[in-house]
Amino acid sequence: MCGRFTITHPNEAIAALFDAVLGNDLPPSPRFNICPTQEVAVVTADTGRRLRAMRWGFLPSWYKTPTDGPLIINARSDTIAAKPAFREAVRQTRCIIPASGFYEWQTSDDGAKLPWYFTRTDAAPMAFAGIWQRWEKEGLALDTCAIVSTDAGPNMAALHHREPVILEAADWPLWLGEAGHGAAVLMKPSAAGVMGCHRVDRAVNSNRAEGPGLIEAVVA
């Protein structure tokens, strides 16, 4: 779940929204088909808020190479605190992964994969709850992240059983560790009406596709 997303808002606008220092290594925006293993913009608050680049694909400390095990792009909220790969990160290095929207797929009666595009109904950027950590082996260092997922809420349940944890602005300090403990309560489905969606062209099924036409509505 949440295997592709977009960022159409400028990096400068995202940094201003989160009151974060703008990094000089950020991937360009807009991007209409962000895929796993690519670099994404991430908000951290370890030494003040920063908008910085990370690899989307969390690497546990025991991986000897970036391809040593399964590609981890999501972390389930119900097991994140117990899984050895995530339990330290969810306590110490939580982050926010900004997005303008994300894609989810529905399987038709004939087996075709039909993409839908989800955005906030208020047109604001989404703030995905995330975790991150630095992976280092033999001189190679990568900052890597994953999106936290939870059970589908009323906006998603008809299409898929999982959705990304989408944080509201008032909850950003708690998730980033700026407002004490107790962030676990934030790992919940989005409230009814927060997200809307529309069908988009199957061109986005290719991870090589790009361009604004990918998010344009088509007849369902």
What are the residue numbers of the active site?
2, 104
Report which of 75, 79, 21, 27 is spatially closest to residue 55, judged by C-alpha positions: 27
How crowded is residue 159: how many other Cβ atoms within 10 Å of its Cβ?
Answer: 15
* Residue 216 per-residue DSSP state: S
CA distance linking residue 163 with residue 188, whole number of Å: 9
185 Cβ partners below 8 Å, 6+ apart? none
Q: Is the backbone peptide bond immediately before 70 cis, with ω within 30 degrees of 0? A: no
Residue 166 DSSP code: B
Nearest to 62 by CA among 53, 52, 72, 50: 72
Dist CA 183 CA 89 (whole Å): 13
